[in-house]
Structure 1
Amino acid sequence: MKDDSSTRDSANDDGLTAAVQEAGAVELLLIRHGESEGNVAATEAREAGVEVIEVPARDADVDLSGTGRDQAKALGIALGRTADAFRPDTVVSSPYARARQTAEITVETAGWPLQVRLDERLRDRELGILDRLTRLGVETRYPGESERRDWLGKLYYRPPGGESWADVALRLRSVLAELNNLGMGQRVMLVCHDAVIMLFRYVLEGLSEKELLDLAAREAILNASVTRFVRPSGVGPWTLESFNVADHLAEQGVAVTEHAGDTSVRPR
């Protein structure tokens, strides 16, 4: 029989599986990527009342804006002040360019001797046929989908070729299952996207659909913000320590940007 141990070892070099050991992580830092060129384009499109967002590349390849790079550097400076005993042991990022660049700039600026690992389960929600469309664009070009989205709500609506928020939550549950097997004392930083951070809260806190959608309606995840969960024992449930903190940006004179997605989230 062919020995495939080398293949398994290679696979274990990617994503969270690289650190799988016996006990659980004790701290989880969730970072939204810095402002991206896509964020800027989407906001401009909504304000201009146009149907299509003129992004420079496919979603996975959209880079940080200049402001986004400044935000990532400011985040790195702030996190670099963390005592060695409390700095992340592992940094894992969505493979999307804006998240990966944020992670790399942050780690380099902080001076941490860490390699950024990539995990596709942390990628942004897939929008399918609605990709690059503003809400007006969806209502105009796919009125049936607009009606179905309003009827089902954001948690369960899945656009053709895309994902619902519930689909993303399923990915994150598998990420957390691996976090529960990390070595004792592990502090993990995950660099991802606004919807992903909302859904981490949904999963980690056991929120109801209403609680999740109420949260999403009143809060927008800021670019380069930090959300922190802790569990000192390394086992059991997580506790939300802080949410959506971006004070480190204002303190360093860097713009704080919001770039919220569609706020119409509740089923009708």
Structure 2
Amino acid sequence: MPSMITAVRHGQSESNAAFDRAEATGAAIVLPGSDRDVSLSPLGRKQATELGRRLATGETPEAVWCSPYRRAVQTWELVAAELDVVPEFRLEARLGDREMGALSGMNLAAIRERFPEQAEGLISRRYSHRAPEGESIPDVADRVREVLADLHAECADRRVLVIAHDAVVLMVKHVLEGIPLASLDAFIPVHNASISIWRGARPEVFNDAGHLGNVTF
């Protein structure tokens, strides 16, 4: 078992920023392209740098397992630039963001316009709903559970940094602590560039973004 697991969400992405702007006006938007190729926003790059500075001042990671999504990899590159010693790095497909299938790239307003029954499902069955060709939250939990089992087998007594997405960080908490899915609302939202730490299965901190200082969400 790793001596310490630190899970972080990537910095703000261009899609996060676009959704925030749309929410402020009530606009429905559908973002083009693949979710896997979305980059960090300028704010997200600043957040990732501050995250790296925070990690450099503590118990630095000895191994890094990272989602292959561009925003996660970019977060790691900016974190690594702040570390004195760069640990071994591994891309791990099972740490990718929740697949939204036919709903990918849409904010809730757009989903309501195009797929009203799917919007209702996302709201009323948030922990069990599965979009067409997409994943449910339990699906994400299943692959996170596999990753944690592999970490326990391959990274015994090491400090591991996991760079991923809000759904993945939340499922790490669910799996390690045995928290029921229905009780996870209290831990949402998982902030961009936030830090969550477990020693073994014991939680030390969750969703801490104090290191961002004046870098706003």
* 1:161-172 matches, cutoff 5 A: 161-172=133-144
Q: Is 2:146 the partner of 1:174? A: yes
- Matched with 1:78 is 54
Deviations, residues 162-197 of structure 1 (Å, cap 9, x unaligned) = 000010000001001111213442110000011111
Identical positions, percent: 36
Q: Is 2:1 the partner of 1:28? A: no
Which 5+ residue runs of structure 1 have no aligned equivalent? 1-23, 232-237, 258-268
Find the aligned partners of 1:28 and 1:46 in 2 and give their Cα distance: 33
Find the aligned partners of 1:182 and 1:225 in 2 and give their Cα distance: 25
Deviations, residues 118-163 of structure 1 (Å, cap 9, x unaligned) = 1011110011111122212112211222233344x12110000100
Structure 1 SS opposite 2:81: helix
| Structure (1 or 2) with the larger CA radius of gyration | 1
What one-letter code is carried by the residue in structure 1 that aligns with 2:80?
V
Q: Is 2:80 the partner of 1:107? A: yes
Find the aligned partners of 1:146 and 1:205 in 2 and give their Cα distance: 30
Find the aligned partners of 1:110 and 1:136 in 2 and give their Cα distance: 41
Aligned CA RMSD, in angstroms, stands at 1.6
8 Å contact kept, 1:246–1:256: no
What one-letter code is carried by the residue in structure 2 that aligns with 1:224?
A
Q: How many residues align?
A: 217
User: How far does residue 243 in structure 1 lie from its aligned partner after superposition?
Assistant: 0.8
- Match among 228, 235, 240 for residue 203 of structure 2: 240
Find the aligned partners of 1:154 and 1:230 in 2 and give their Cα distance: 29
- Matched with 1:215 is 186
- Match among 256, 259, 266 for residue 216 of structure 2: 256
User: How far does residue 93 in structure 1 lie from its aligned partner after superposition?
Assistant: 0.7
Find the aligned partners of 2:121 and 2:156 in 1 and give their Cα distance: 45
TM-score, scaled to structure 2: 0.94
